[in-house]
């Protein structure tokens, strides 16, 4: 597996979520932790429905800092956990966070890496969470096709991803609507797609998966609370403004933050983030 520790140039790699700025990466590492802690309890219900349980060999492709696998280990302490990611800095955090896991450098576009990884670890479950949104739909289909072809026969693959065209703010917030549109456009310009969630089932089908199941999982302020929603999702929308925002952008940021201050805990007020869990074999 030594060859996996060396960066390789990979065709089709997008520029989305490279996190080259150290301060931004540190903020994002904290956000990933809040995100896993706040969302996992609701995601677990669906993961159990797909057959996730204790004593399995679980591989996460695009594991980041390993926070999601850490949540899984808390509930299923007999799991064997492997994670793979193209960002060596995030993998360093994963190694500190969960020394019990095996953390490997690699890119999902690299079939040789996937083949070696699957043959060595023989996973029962493969998780791909908030990763495919950093690729075009075409690249996501091609990655899923490789995973389907190379994985062990009985291994189930679960992809979890966002669909930002289904965000909801009640009462409406023009500032948050504008920020989320900016974020969708920015990610698209870097080769990603923040609306991929609702198309995952189609992509699974086109990649040859069978026994496909889809669940829409909505994280709203009534389910995860206002503080968690603000800590997990507001930084995503604000990141649309980049490192040197214009005066107009700063006004947008203030208006978005004011919306949360004014509306939190008000009767009838709601913020909702929509995701899809799709699994197949
Ligand atoms: C939003 S983070 C999610 C991390 C983790 N899955 C979680 O749910 O906490 C997206 C991760 O996908 C990784 N990633 C994106 N494209 C990738 C690729 N082509 N190959 C491997 N990792 C990739 C990024 O480096 C990053 O760690």
Indicate the pTM of the whole model. Answer: 0.94
pLDDT above 90 (res 261): yes
Half-sphere exposure of 93 (CA within 13 A, CB side): 20
pLDDT tier at 2 (50, 70, 90 boundaries)? Answer: very low
Which of 64, 108, 235 to probe ligand 1 with, by most ligand atoms within 8 A of CB? 64
Quote the domain boundaries for residue 8: 2-163+193-220+276-280
- Kindly state whether residue 186 falls inside one of the protein's structural domains: no
Q: What does the pLDDT look like over 168-188, one tens digit per residue? A: 999 999 999 999 999 999 999
- Supply the pLDDT for residue 16: 82
pLDDT at 11 over 60: no
List, chain by chain if needed, residues with CB within 6 Å of any ligand 1 atom. Answer: 13, 17, 32, 36, 62-64, 67-68, 85-87, 90, 107-109, 129-131, 134
115 inside domain: yes
Quote the DSSP letter at residue 73.
H
pLDDT at 4 over 80: no
Q: Above 60 in pLDDT, residue 33?
A: yes
In a domain, 216, yes or no: yes
Residue 9 pLDDT = 41
Crossing angle (nearest 10°) for helices 22-49 and 226-238? 130
Contacts of 127 (CB under 8 A, 6+ apart): 58, 59, 60, 61, 68, 69, 158, 159, 160
**Which phi and psi (to 5°) does residue 275 adopt?**
-130, 165
pLDDT of residue 153: 97
Domain count, the chain: 1
Task: Examine the pLDDT at 1 and tell me if it is beyond 70.
Answer: no
Residues linked to residue 270 through DSSP beta bridges, in sequence order: 170
* Other CB atoms within 10 A of residue 188 CB: 14
If residue 254 lies in a helix (H) or strand (E), which one and from where to where?
Answer: helix 247-263
Q: Which of 10-24, 49-63, 138-152 has the lowest mean pLDDT?
A: 10-24
In a domain, 176, yes or no: no
**CA of 276 relative to ligand 1 center, distance in Å:** 17
pLDDT above 80 for 155: yes
- Quick one: pLDDT band at residue 243, thresholds 50, 70, 90? confident
Neighbours of 94 (CB within 10 A): 24
Q: Where are the beta strands (DSSP E) in 41-155?
A: 57-61, 80-85, 102-105, 125-129
**Percent of the chain surpassing pLDDT 70:** 95
Rounded to whole angstroms, how far apart are CA atoms 37 and 75? 12
Query: Does residue 117 contact residue 86 with C-beta atoms inside 8 Å?
Result: no
- The alpha carbons of the chain give a radius of gyration, in whole angstroms, of 18
Residue 84 has pLDDT above 90, yes or no: yes
How many angstroms separate the alpha carbon of residue 62 from the centre of ligand 1? Answer: 4
Nearest residue to 200 (alpha-carbon basis) of 238, 160, 173, 237? 160
Dmax over Cα atoms in the chain, in whole Å?
Answer: 56
Query: pLDDT class for 53, splitting at 50, 70, 90?
Result: very high
For the segment 240-266, the average pLDDT, to the nearest whole number, is 95
Residue with the smallest CA separation from ligand 1 atom 15 is 131
pLDDT category, 12, cuts 50, 70, 90?
Answer: low
Of ligand 1's listed atoms, the one at least distance from the Cα of 106 is 21
Residue 46 lies in a domain: yes
Residue 233 lies in a domain: no
For residue 145, pLDDT over 70 is answered with yes
For residue 118, give the CATH number of its domain: 3.40.50.150
- Predicted pLDDT of residue 18: 85
pLDDT tens-digit map of 223-241: 999 999 999 999 999 999 9
Q: E strands of 98-165, at which residues?
A: 102-105, 125-129, 156-162
State the pairing for strand pair 57-61/168-170: unpaired
Report yes or no on 58 lying in a domain: yes
Confidence of residue 13 (pLDDT cuts 50, 70, 90): low
Residue 157's beta-bridge partner residues?
126, 280
pLDDT at 15: 84
- Residues 141-158: what's their mean pLDDT? 98
Instruction: Tell me if residue 168 falls in helix, strand or coil.
Output: strand
Domain membership of residue 248 (yes or no) is no
* Across 101-120, average pLDDT: 97
């Amino acid at each position: 597996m030594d060859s996996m520790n060396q960066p390789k140039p990979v065709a089709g790699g997008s520029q989305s979520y490279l996190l080259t700025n150290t301060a931004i990466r540190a903020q994002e590492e904290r956000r990933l932790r809040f995100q896993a802690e706040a969302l996992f309890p609701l995601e677990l219900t669906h993961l159990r429905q797909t057959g996730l349980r204790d004593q399995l060999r679980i591989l996460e492709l695009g594991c980041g800092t390993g926070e999601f696998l850490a949540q899984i280990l808390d509930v299923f302490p007999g799991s064997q956990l492997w994670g793979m990611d193209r960002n060596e800095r995030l993998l360093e955090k994963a190694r500190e966070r969960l020394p019990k896991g095996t953390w490997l450098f690699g890119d999902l576009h690299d079939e040789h890496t996937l083949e070696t990884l699957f043959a060595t670890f023989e996973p029962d479950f493969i998780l791909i969470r908030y990763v495919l949104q950093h690729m075009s739909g075409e690249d996501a289909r091609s990655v899923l096709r490789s995973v389907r072809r190379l994985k062990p026969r009985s291994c189930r693959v679960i992809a979890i991803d966002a669909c930002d065209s289904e965000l909801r703010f009640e009462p409406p917030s023009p500032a948050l609507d504008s920020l989320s549109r900016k974020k969708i456009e920015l990610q698209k310009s870097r080769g990603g797609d923040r609306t991929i969630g609702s198309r995952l089932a189609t992509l699974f089908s086109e990649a040859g998966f069978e026994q496909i199941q889809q669940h829409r999982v909505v994280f709203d302020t009534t389910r995860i609370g206002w503080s968690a929603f603000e800590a997990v999702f507001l930084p995503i929308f604000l990141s649309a403004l980049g490192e040197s925002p214009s005066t107009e952008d700063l006004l947008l940021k203030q208006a978005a933050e004011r919306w949360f201050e004014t509306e939190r805990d008000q009767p009838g007020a709601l913020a909702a983030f929509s995701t899809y869990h799709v699994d197949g074999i």
